[in-house]
């Protein structure tokens, strides 16, 4: 495997960037030549942002798993595709070679077919971070079933909503998952999600934790039995592998739910060819991957980062991807550094929130750890503050490893703005330059490109992208209009990211955070409306308003202002606990408010709209800049809220 499209110098970056903008069809056709196609495309790109309609490599036929597995077998069959580090450091490491991966994915494909799964069917995957999760994802892709991975921290209610929205008929799960010193009872959560459900036909359960579970006869099956049977069948037919389904370039590959500014998460849809090319291209370029390097992305496959940079990007590049089941601070805060030393990790890709939390333990956990294998460090998920950037650079990279700050989104499939490790310049807390094919633009509220610099010489605006790159989302599942209004209707002919950004004199971008009602808590995306809906499910709550506030480790914390019915309220502590439990039950523990303030009223305009700007200022402790409150329906509520601030 070689990567002729890997950018090796700043000059080459500028050259490729210019070519990608001047002639995107030619540029991406050249990149796409490096993949395995069953049939080449008829046209490279058809698009308009009005409908929106985006088609890349239209007419082409392929299967992404042949690109991620089969094509590497001859040269690298015995090389590790996945190295798995278990939650408990004393447990056995598993090394999955490309040959073994090929066999397991074939078995999963056969197992799915045996259980009635067809091309286009939706399969919900709710598992911990074990190699079987990767097999499940790729097994779906092998037969053209659409996977929808749900992060193991989501509640039964969240799963039920997603199953319904996706019209899923099949689930793959585990008895439980290990997370630090906790066991998450995944199958029990699935059972709760399936109360009253009539559409799920089969639930396949892998044994990981030996947590006691119940199995519903006729519906629930053991992964181990099904996989053994599949193996027997493949052998009996004399097949060494399960033939990969021929997919259209624009057939959906997966759905991944993500939060927006409304109460209901949307199912972002990515398709086969464009997503494959984009994750591979960005993986090889941002991290400057060299064959043989060990790439350790600490994300969970339940999020887009894991899809793109644990599974599809690395495997399509024939890389070795390290998959970690545990958490950064268990059994102690040396966990990441032990893994780096043990597996001689070359590329470490993690989130600012993890860096900040590890910073809090000081330098002791680093003592005696050999981090000399590291070549490249990466961050993703939220803005990284300069202090954390320098700590990462100095103490982990020892000043020798380029740090790439990769900005992107679930909707973008892969990285859009980043420096390329050691190739283009880094600037602490700046994502810097766009990838080839990405045309960012900063606009004001009216959609006009900003061109007036502020006092520090920077342009400031809402971040949009002018034209499609291969990894852009194609639709939101079952509701194309929602895709249009969410991303393509705010500004005409632009994809709107929901982020605000700055641009300096070098053309570098710094992403400052969301400008919509979306929070980023420890790199997890949560809609304020979603949290409000969950809080309002508590029978004692009259109304609530949720905003973000700066949090030292999480980046943003969740601040809830809640009006409670007098007679339901025994004491603050108990009601608070009840509300937290309600949010955990409706969404999951990741959405629990950090602060809950009980208030008598919320600041509203005369037309009844909640003035979140004021609440945000109060939560951020910027009491001197509350602005004009005289137009409020009842200005006195502001004093009451400020008086009771937590």
**Residues engaged in binding ligand WT7 (CB under 6 A):** 258, 304-305, 380-383, 405-410, 431, 497-499, 511, 513-514, 520, 525
> Which residues have C-beta within 8 Å of that of residue 495, sequence separation ≥ 6?
49, 464, 465, 466, 468, 472, 487, 488
Nearer to ligand WT7, 286 or 638 (CB): 286
In the complex, minimum distance from the CB of residue 32 to ligand WT7, in angstroms, rounded to a whole number: 23
In the complex, minimum distance from the CB of residue 497 to ligand WT7, in angstroms, rounded to a whole number: 6
Nearer to ligand WT7, 258 or 476 (CB): 258
Nearer to ligand WT7, 80 or 498 (CB): 498
CA pair distance 487, 301, nearest whole angstrom = 24
> Which residues have C-beta within 8 Å of that of residue 466, sequence separation ≥ 6?
439, 440, 441, 493, 494, 495
In the complex, minimum distance from the CB of residue 259 to ligand WT7, in angstroms, rounded to a whole number: 8
In the complex, minimum distance from the CB of residue 338 to ligand WT7, in angstroms, rounded to a whole number: 25
Q: Structure tokens of 191?
A: 């059972």
Q: What is the dihedral of CA 605, 444, 547, 405, to 10 degrees?
A: 180
Q: How many CB atoms lie within 10 A of CB 125?
A: 23
Nearer to ligand WT7, 521 or 615 (CB): 521
In the complex, minimum distance from the CB of residue 462 to ligand WT7, in angstroms, rounded to a whole number: 12
In the complex, minimum distance from the CB of residue 466 to ligand WT7, in angstroms, rounded to a whole number: 17
CA pair distance 645, 621, nearest whole angstrom = 9
In the complex, minimum distance from the CB of residue 511 to ligand WT7, in angstroms, rounded to a whole number: 4
Nearer to ligand WT7, 194 or 404 (CB): 404
> Which residues have C-beta within 8 Å of that of residue 190, sequence separation ≥ 6?
126, 156, 159, 171, 173, 203
Question: Is 363 exposed, middle or buried (CB count within 10 Å of its CB: 0-12, 13-18, 19+)?
Answer: exposed
Strands (E), 259-336: 266-271, 294-297, 320-324
Strands (E), 367-416: 376-380, 403-406
Nearer to ligand WT7, 144 or 260 (CB): 260
In the complex, minimum distance from the CB of residue 499 to ligand WT7, in angstroms, rounded to a whole number: 5
| SS (HEC) of 235-253 | HHCCCCCCCCCCEECCCEE
Nearer to ligand WT7, 507 or 635 (CB): 507
Nearer to ligand WT7, 101 or 463 (CB): 463
Residue 594, helix vs strand vs coil: coil
CA pair distance 123, 104, nearest whole angstrom = 18
Q: How many CB atoms lie within 10 A of CB 638?
A: 21
Nearer to ligand WT7, 511 or 541 (CB): 511
Nearest-CB residue for ligand WT7: 410
Residues facing residue 544 across a β-bridge: 562
In the complex, minimum distance from the CB of residue 304 to ligand WT7, in angstroms, rounded to a whole number: 5
Our CA angle for 599, 601, 607, nearest 5°, is 150
In the complex, minimum distance from the CB of residue 479 to ligand WT7, in angstroms, rounded to a whole number: 18
Nearer to ligand WT7, 72 or 266 (CB): 266
CA 430 from chain centre, in angstroms, equals: 20
CA pair distance 8, 424, nearest whole angstrom = 9
Nearer to ligand WT7, 121 or 382 (CB): 382
In the complex, minimum distance from the CB of residue 418 to ligand WT7, in angstroms, rounded to a whole number: 7
Our CA angle for 236, 240, 245, nearest 5°, is 105
């Amino acid at each position: 495997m070689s990567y002729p499209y890997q950018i090796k110098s700043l000059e080459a970056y500028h050259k490729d960037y210019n070519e990608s903008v001047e002639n995107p069809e030619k540029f991406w056709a050249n990149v796409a030549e490096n993949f395995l196609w069953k049939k080449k495309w008829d046209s490279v790109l058809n698009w308009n942002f009005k409908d929106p309609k985006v088609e890349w490599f239209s007419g082409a036929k392929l299967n992404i798993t042949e690109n991620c597995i089969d094509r590497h077998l001859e040269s690298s069959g015995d090389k590790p595709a996945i190295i798995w580090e278990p939650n408990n450091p004393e447990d056995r490491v598993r090394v999955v070679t490309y040959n073994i991966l090929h066999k397991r994915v074939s078995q999963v494909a056969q197992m799915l077919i045996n259980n009635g799964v067809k091309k286009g069917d939706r399969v919900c995957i709710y598992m911990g971070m074990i190699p079987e999760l990767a097999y499940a994802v790729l097994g779906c892709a092998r037969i053209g079933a659409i996977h929808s991975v749900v992060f193991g921290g989501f509640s039964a209610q969240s799963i039920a909503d997603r199953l319904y929205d996706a019209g899923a008929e099949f689930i793959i799960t585990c008895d439980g998952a290990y997370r630090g010193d906790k066991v998450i009872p995944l199958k029990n959560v699935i059972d709760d999600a399936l109360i009253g459900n009539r559409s799920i036909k089969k639930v396949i359960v892998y044994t990981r934790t030996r947590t006691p579970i119940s199995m519903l006869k006729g519906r629930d099956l053991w992964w181990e039995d099904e996989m053994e049977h599949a193996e027997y069948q493949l052998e009996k037919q004399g097949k060494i592998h399960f033939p990969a389904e021929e997919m259209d370039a624009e057939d959906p590959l997966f759905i991944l739910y993500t939060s927006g500014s409304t109460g209901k998460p949307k199912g972002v849809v990515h398709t086969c060819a464009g997503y494959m090319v984009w994750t591979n291209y960005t993986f090889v370029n941002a991290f400057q991957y060299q064959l043989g390097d060990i790439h350790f992305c600490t994300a969970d496959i339940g999020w887009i980062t894991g899809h793109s940079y644990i599974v599809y990007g690395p495997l399509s590049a024939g890389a070795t991807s390290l998959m970690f089941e545990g958490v950064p601070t268990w059994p102690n805060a040396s966990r990441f550094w032990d893994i780096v030393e043990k597996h001689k990790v070359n590329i470490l890709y993690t989130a600012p929130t993890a860096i900040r939390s590890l910073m809090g333990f000081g330098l002791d956990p680093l003592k005696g750890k050999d981090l000399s294998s590291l070549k490249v460090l990466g961050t993703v998920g939220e803005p990284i503050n300069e202090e954390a950037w320098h700590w990462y650079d100095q103490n982990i990279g020892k000043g020798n490893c380029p740090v790439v700050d990769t900005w992107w989104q679930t909707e973008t499939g892969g990285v859009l703005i980043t420096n390329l490790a050691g190739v283009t310049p880094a600037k602490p807390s700046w994502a810097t330059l766009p990838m080839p094919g990405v045309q960012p633009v900063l606009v004001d509220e009216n959609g006009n490109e900003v061109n007036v610099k502020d006092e520090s010489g920077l342009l400031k605006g809402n971040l949009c992208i002018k034209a499609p790159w291969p990894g852009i989302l194609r639709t939101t599942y079952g509701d194309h209009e929602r895709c249009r209004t969410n991303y393509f209707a705010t500004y005409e002919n632009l994809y709107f990211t929901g982020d605000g950004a700055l641009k300096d004199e070098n053309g570098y971008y710094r992403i400052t955070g969301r400008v919509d009602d979306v929070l980023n808590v420890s790199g997890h995306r949560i809609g304020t409306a979603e949290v409000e809906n969950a809080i309002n499910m508590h029978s004692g709550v009259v109304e609530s308003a949720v905003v973000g506030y700066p949090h030292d480790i999480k980046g943003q914390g969740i601040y809830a202002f809640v009006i409670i019915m007098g007679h339901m309220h025994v004491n603050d502590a108990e009601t608070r606990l009840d509300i937290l439990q309600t949010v955990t039950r409706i969404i999951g523990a990741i959405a629990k408010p950090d602060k809950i303030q009980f208030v008598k009223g919320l600041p509203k305009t005369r037309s009844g709209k909640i003035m979140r700007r004021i609440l945000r200022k109060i939560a951020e402790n910027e009491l001197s800049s509350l602005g004009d409150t005289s137009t409020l329906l009842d200005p006195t509520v502001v004093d009451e809220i400020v008086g009771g601030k937590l």
